[in-house]
């Protein structure tokens, strides 16, 4: 894993600011190929809203923006904008399969409460 800041200005984020498990990386790569978005990067962020104040966002995009935190995983580049990073720092993104279904799981140590949907939280 290689972490860096896309913009030459500002203080680099601390190591481990956000991490994806091998299962999450594999799932994202499969999804990217299935959606015909090979070569695109994954943007992870948060937006205001949801039941608890914030909700997680994952989208494919073509390039990082200035100031984005960038993490490289083999053939997958993940970017996080500075405002989202403040809320997501220390988060581990995982992909899990279970009896009730499968999907992306966020393990965010900054979340003070979350909604039953698993996508909305307070920080």
**The token pair that represents 33 in the structure block:** 């190929």
**pLDDT tens for each residue of 10-62:** 334 455 588 999 999 999 999 999 999 999 999 999 988 656 578 889 999 99
Q: Whole-prediction pTM value? A: 0.78
62 alpha-carbon distance from chain centroid:
16
Enumerate the β-bridge partners of residue 93. Answer: 20, 106
Domains of the chain listed by start with CATH number: 2-122 (2.60.300.12)
When mean pLDDT is compared across 1-10, 22-31, 70-79, 96-105, the lowest value belongs to 1-10
């Amino acid at each position: 894993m290689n972490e860096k800041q896309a913009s030459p200005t500002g203080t680099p984020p601390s190591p481990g600011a956000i991490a994806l498990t091998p299962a999450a990386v594999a799932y994202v790569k499969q999804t990217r190929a299935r959606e015909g978005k090979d070569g695109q990067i994954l943007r992870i962020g948060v937006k205001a809203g949801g039941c608890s104040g914030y909700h997680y966002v994952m989208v494919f995009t073509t390039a990082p923006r200035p100031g984005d935190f960038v993490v490289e995983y083999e053939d997958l580049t993940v970017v996080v904008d500075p405002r989202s990073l403040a809320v997501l720092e220390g988060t581990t993104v995982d992909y899990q399969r279970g009896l009730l279904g499968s999907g992306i799981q966020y393990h965010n140590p900054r979340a003070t409460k979350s909604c039953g949907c698993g996508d909305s939280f307070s920080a």
